[in-house]
Structure 1
Amino acid sequence: MTNKTNILIIVTSHAKMGGQDRQTGIWFEELTTPYYAFLDAGAAVAIASIAGGKVPVDPHSMEAKDRPTSVTRFLKDENAMRQIETSRNISELSVDEYDAVFLPGGHGVMWDMPENPLLSALLSKAWAQGKVLAAVCHGPAGLVGATDETGKPLVSGRKVAAFTNEEEEMAGLTKEVPFLLESRIRELGAKYESGLAFQPFAVRDGKLVTGQNPASSEKVAELVLEAVKTS
């Protein structure tokens, strides 16, 4: 990149699966893989969260047998870890200084991102300013309250990928989540697209980039960088 690109990553602050004792939060790979894809491409990356402070990480995403190299790299990166130990609250943010906003997933987002007035306003403003918006896995739940310049749901009429109903069922969590993300995205009028369960799949519709599951994180990051470059 010839000019410095500024990318804002917004993550969940919700640590429990609904009212249960089961821990959730962000799915770490969905943060760490794009984080380093952006950083290694020369972008400046900032991390914020819905409530600020320490970001909850889903413990299942930290299991050694499935841990991507980006997770290990992040855990050893003092600056990166500082950002999730003391993350900024989205109420303190202005999107004016950023070229793209990215929403990683993890089941936590299903509770504190959908129709969150602060987040919806921030994303709607970013879209109106011509910023790139991106999300992966459950991250598109953060887009459901955002609107485009006409006041319609941002995802309406646009190609969107997100965690599928099939994948939610395979995870055994269809009864735990407040709604099924694929179903909600479709209800909002999106041109929903998906690939095979738990295989990489991402789509770009202009300045909107979305991915289906954790395995799609790298592809989403690539499409974000492409969208920023061509916007």
Structure 2
Amino acid sequence: MNTASILIIATAHALLGGTGAQTGLWLEELTTPYYVFADQGASITIATLPGGQIPIDPHSVAEAGKNPPTVERYLKDADLQARLKDSRRLADLDYKNYQAIFIPGGHGAMWDLASSEALGKFLSDAWKGGAVIGSVCHGPAAFSFAVKEDGRALVNGLHVTGFSNSEEQKMKLTQVVPFSLETRMREDGGIYAQGPDFEAFAVRDGKLVTGQNPASSQKVAELMLEALK
């Protein structure tokens, strides 16, 4: 595993629909898997669709001392901070160079990652090439245009999870997001499962690993490493 090359694809979308509020990447959903992978010696590339600075949801980072452990680690990690300010452009990368692809969430993913046919093709090609694909929370919105070898949706017939309708309702964002992620995964033929709202819950079905919410980030990363073995 220690030589695995892993690509993280994050949202670059910063606005929460028409609310005027800021969104973007939910920081813990990137930092937790990043450090799980890095501590195992993986080579990690961080990308967005346009490249450049990754917007961080302001609700996902507090003053030092009041964050999840991996966010606290990030706040002391100048290298990772620099990488989030200068992400690679996805179009410049070749899926063949990565054994695994991980997509963190944050509500931003519901806009840019969900509507990108180029990302869909990239993920489809990577899947057909044997890559492990993992995602958490709103990250599976990125699967919108991804298909398997037979042309069916990537999640079709596979056990999956993602940010649930009940969690979206508790966030009072059901009317703000462009679609319901749980509903879309079900409509695409995914065998959707969920744990308690906002508690860690992740599912692995072969090479596809999904997590329900930010608390699930660690489990997703661990299941991805398991799938890579």
| Residues 24-82 of structure 1 deviation map (CA, whole Å, 9 limit, x = unaligned) | 00000000000000000111111101221100000000124751111121122122111
Checking the alignment, whether the CA contact within 8 Å between 2:18 and 2:176 is kept in structure 1 is no
The 3-state SS of whatever aligns with 1:184 is helix
Matched with 2:92 is 92
Q: How does 1:122-133 map to 2 (within 5 A)?
A: 122-133=122-133
Checking the alignment, whether the CA contact within 8 Å between 2:29 and 2:104 is kept in structure 1 is yes
Matched with 1:22 is 21
> Between Structure 1 and Structure 2, how many residues are aligned?
228
Cα separation, 2, equivalents of 1:6 and 1:88: 15
Cα separation, 2, equivalents of 1:77 and 1:38: 15
Amino acid at match of 1:108: G
Amino acid at match of 1:50: L
TM-score with structure 2 length normalisation?
A: 0.97
CA RMSD between the two structures: 1.1
The 3-state SS of whatever aligns with 2:154 is coil
Cα separation, 2, equivalents of 1:161 and 1:125: 22
Matched with 1:38 is 37
Q: How does 1:103-114 map to 2 (within 5 A)?
A: 103-114=103-114
The 3-state SS of whatever aligns with 1:177 is coil
Runs of 4+ in structure 1 deviating by more than 4 angstroms, as ranges, are none
Q: How does 1:102-181 map to 2 (within 5 A)?
A: 102-181=102-181
Amino acid at match of 1:130: G
Matched with 1:63 is 62
Cα separation, 1, equivalents of 2:57 and 2:79: 20
Which structure 1 residue ranges, 5 or more long, are not aligned?
A: none
The 3-state SS of whatever aligns with 2:18 is coil
Cα separation, 2, equivalents of 1:190 and 1:115: 19
Which structure 2 residue ranges, 5 or more long, are not aligned?
A: none
Matched with 1:196 is 196
Amino acid at match of 2:228: V
TM-score with structure 1 length normalisation?
A: 0.96
Checking the alignment, whether the CA contact within 8 Å between 1:115 and 1:146 is kept in structure 2 is no
The 3-state SS of whatever aligns with 1:144 is helix
TM-fit CA distance, 1:20:
2.8
